[in-house]
Amino acid sequence: MSFRSGFVTIIGRPNAGKSTLLNALAGEKLAIVSPKPQTTRNRVLGVIHVPKKKGRPGAQIVLIDTPGVHRPGSSLGRKMMSEVREALNGCDLALIITDAAKKSDDAGEFLLDVVKGTKTPAFLLLNKIDLLRGEKRQLLPLIEKYSKLRDFREVIPISARKREGLDLLLDKVIHALPEGPHYFPEGQITDQPARFMVSELIREQVLFATSEEVPHSTTVMIEQFEEGAKLTRIAAVIYCEREGQKRILIGHRGEVLKKIGTAARIEIERMLGTKVFLELFVKVRQNWRESRGFVEELDWRRQLEHLVTAEHKENSG
Ligand SMILES: Nc1nc2c(ncn2[C@@H]2O[C@H](COP(=O)(O)OP(=O)(O)O)[C@@H](O)[C@H]2O)c(=O)[nH]1
Ligand SMILES: [Mg+2]
């Protein structure tokens, strides 16, 4: 049996458990997870290296976690949905994931359209079965609804959080993949730069510490990132859209910001394996979500381009 590899996109509504599944399969925290919809704003890539075993070839699965599928209402939303379409086009397999424990499955026309509209081979994953308490019959209407839209190669009940059904899923995914090369070197598990993952870990703590419109109105930009052998110095700006939100983020006597900073620092230290000195600032940038230029600036792929161009200028000037 020869080596299998391919790109596998995880698609679903906000909160279905896409990022939880990515982290569970990758065995590492690559994407931040929260109970709030639209936690994931960018495409997140996780590389899973699967050793060969009896009856199964070795494989490399390049998993792509996407922002939840929703009807976009802003520049940020449009950017998120174009990330979804881009990830879906040209991948080898799509994992359509739904929250099977939700009373009314509001799949959203938008998701159904996306599912219907692609010819990419797909699995249907019924997630959160740990919440069903054995009442698997509840799954039948869901399966019926989705099966009307298109053919699914497999329908697999899972619990991403409790890691149920994931071995079976992994086996099925590998068998659905074509023979292929190692796309990434052994040992590489993501394409996200540490700098970006740091900004995500800070944003995750903002999501936990705030509510209502504040999480959606917030974004994080890293201003300083100096990695030393023992200590990493990081300065980051949390952008929000209004003065009132800034007051909430800072809190009485700076308590909220302090809590965010401490919790984020612990997570960042765990990821980087060094001590971290973290400085956080809060700034207002009105309607940043509507600003195409700013939304583009937040994209780490764009930021990388800037870094490369700046270095190039320095070297040549
Ligand atoms: N009970 C249960 N909760 C889950 C499961 N998978 C995800 N969740 C929770 O659902 C919420 C949304 O998860 P997340 O991965 O951020 O969803 P995403 O928006 O699709 O990426 C989080 O609170 C998760 O802990 C599961 O299998 N069982
Ligand atoms: Mg997510």
pLDDT tens, the chain, 317 aa long: 799 999 999 998 889 999 999 999 998 889 889 888 878 887 788 999 999 988 889 999 999 988 887 777 788 888 888 888 888 887 999 999 999 998 776 666 777 777 788 889 999 999 999 999 777 888 998 899 889 888 999 999 999 999 999 999 999 999 999 999 999 998 888 888 889 999 999 999 999 999 988 998 999 999 999 988 899 999 999 999 999 999 999 999 999 999 999 999 999 999 999 999 999 999 999 999 999 888 888 887 776 665 555 555 555 54
Number of C-beta neighbours around residue 161 at 10 A = 16
One domain, residues 240 and 307: yes
- Cα–Cα distance for residue pair 249/252, rounded to 1 Å: 9
The answer, yes or no, to whether any atom of ligand 1 lies below 6 A from the CB of 130, is yes
pLDDT of residue 41: 82
Closest by CA position to 45, among listed 309, 307, 301: 301
Query: Which ligand 1 atom is at minimum distance from the Cα of 127?
Result: 27
Distance 311 CA to ligand 2 centre (A): 33
pLDDT of residue 36: 85
One domain, residues 142 and 204: no
- 292: domain range? 194-316
One domain, residues 230 and 308: yes
The token pair that represents 195 in the structure block? 């700098």
Q: Is the dihedral of CA 208, 210, 216, 217 positive or negative?
A: negative
One domain, residues 228 and 167: no
Distance 13 CA to ligand 2 centre (A): 9
Question: 125 - beta bridge partners?
Answer: 97, 156
The domain boundary, picked from 149, 176, 203, lies at 176
One domain, residues 172 and 212: no
**Could you tell me the pTM of the whole model?**
0.84
The answer, yes or no, to whether any atom of ligand 1 lies below 6 A from the CB of 23, is no
Query: Which ligand 1 atom is at minimum distance from the Cα of 33?
Result: 16
The domain boundary, picked from 176, 203, 234, lies at 176
Specify if 184 maps to a domain: no
One domain, residues 158 and 264: no
Ligand closest to the CA atom of residue 17: 1
One domain, residues 169 and 219: no
The token pair that represents 274 in the structure block? 């060094």
One domain, residues 16 and 137: yes
Computed on alpha carbons and rounded to an integer, the radius of gyration of the chain in Å comes to: 20
pLDDT of residue 76: 85
Ligand closest to the CA atom of residue 102: 1
The domain boundary, picked from 176, 207, 225, lies at 176
- Cα–Cα distance for residue pair 291/242, rounded to 1 Å: 15
Specify if 126 maps to a domain: yes
Query: Which ligand 1 atom is at minimum distance from the Cα of 164?
Result: 27
Specify if 188 maps to a domain: no
Ligand closest to the CA atom of residue 14: 1
Tell which one of 15, 64, 159 to mutate to probe ligand 1, the residue whose CB is within 8 A of the most ligand atoms.
15
pLDDT of residue 274: 94
**Total domains in the fold of the chain:** 2
Long-range contacts of 109-112 (CB under 8 A, 24+ apart): 110/69, 110/70, 110/71, 111/11, 111/12, 111/13, 111/69, 112/149
Nearest CA to ligand 1 atom 1: 128
One domain, residues 84 and 126: yes
Query: Which ligand 1 atom is at minimum distance from the Cα of 20?
Result: 15
Task: Write the CATH number for 112.
Answer: 3.40.50.300
